[in-house]
Structure 1
Amino acid sequence: MSRSVRTALVAALGLALSVFVCHKRVLAAPIVVADPVAHTLTILLPTGEAHTFAPAAGFFARSTPAVGDYFIVYEDGYQSHSPKAAFEAGYHAATDEPPHGTDRMLQFFAYQHLPEHLQAHSKPFHDLAQTIVDTLPANAERTTALRKLLEAKDCAVRARIYKEPERTA
């Protein structure tokens, strides 16, 4: 949002509002028919098929979407819609998103290839890494947690195979 647009909004509203940046992940589909009387929406599925359904109660009480707007379902299940231009300016398709419970870093926690005596020391780190991926949102902090856990796992395995240097007289 440009400074001139912000200034105009502040003047129109008489309020100075904070600026926010969106980073939400949502499910969405373009609306092809909105019928507030029948309380139904028809959306275009990714397969190209049209699907008609009744959105959540109160959906049309807030406003009636236009054809081309997007039907949106947020992570908490809340249903809404967004004007086409606003939605397309703020979101992009997450086609490369890995399935829940996966992370590229998990490959470094594999332990099955290790000799059995080392697997016992590596497996707990694998299990904790999987728990982190399953229970925390994908972000920089989760990646840092996995990197530090990987470093700890490597140290634990090296501690198991460590040999004292031979002393020479």
Structure 2
Amino acid sequence: MVPAPPARDPGETGVLTLSPTGRRTRLAACAVVLAVLLGGNLWGTDADFPFGPFRMYSTRADPDRPVVSTRVVGLTAAGEEIRLSGGEVGLRRAEFEGQLSRLAEQPDLLSLLAESYADHHPDAEPLVEVRVVLRRYALEDGRRTGEVTDDVVVAHDLEATP
């Protein structure tokens, strides 16, 4: 047999009310959070997220500015380009982009990518150079014009590596 629920007082509404101090505390906490969010949106940077704007989603790119794509390629002795970004060596493009300044200071780190490529593709022709290339796609009114330019920002000659 299930016991009956306790009888309710007919004057009880079941709603708990906050004390005036509790209401003031909650209002003050809300005001502080809103002030921090407003200040972050006005003066913050991406590093302040979530209290600052995440500019990737809060701004619009100029439809006439080129789109830049980072590529990492290896060159064979025959001059063939082998794509190393996109997971071919265990790293994605965003991971390369995050390391660009480090790679510019220490281009010999690119030899590690060539080693990883050789480990994953033992039958492939060996690489003689690894390059980080910024490919720019020209836009006009937000549409590709067909003009593409490549700028090599870091290169490492693997044959010169001891």
Structure with the bigger percentage of strand:
2
- TM-score calculated relative to the size of structure 2: 0.25
Structure with the bigger percentage of helix:
1
Structure with the greater relative contact order (CA < 8 A, sep ≥ 6): 1 or 2? Answer: 2
Larger radius of gyration: 2
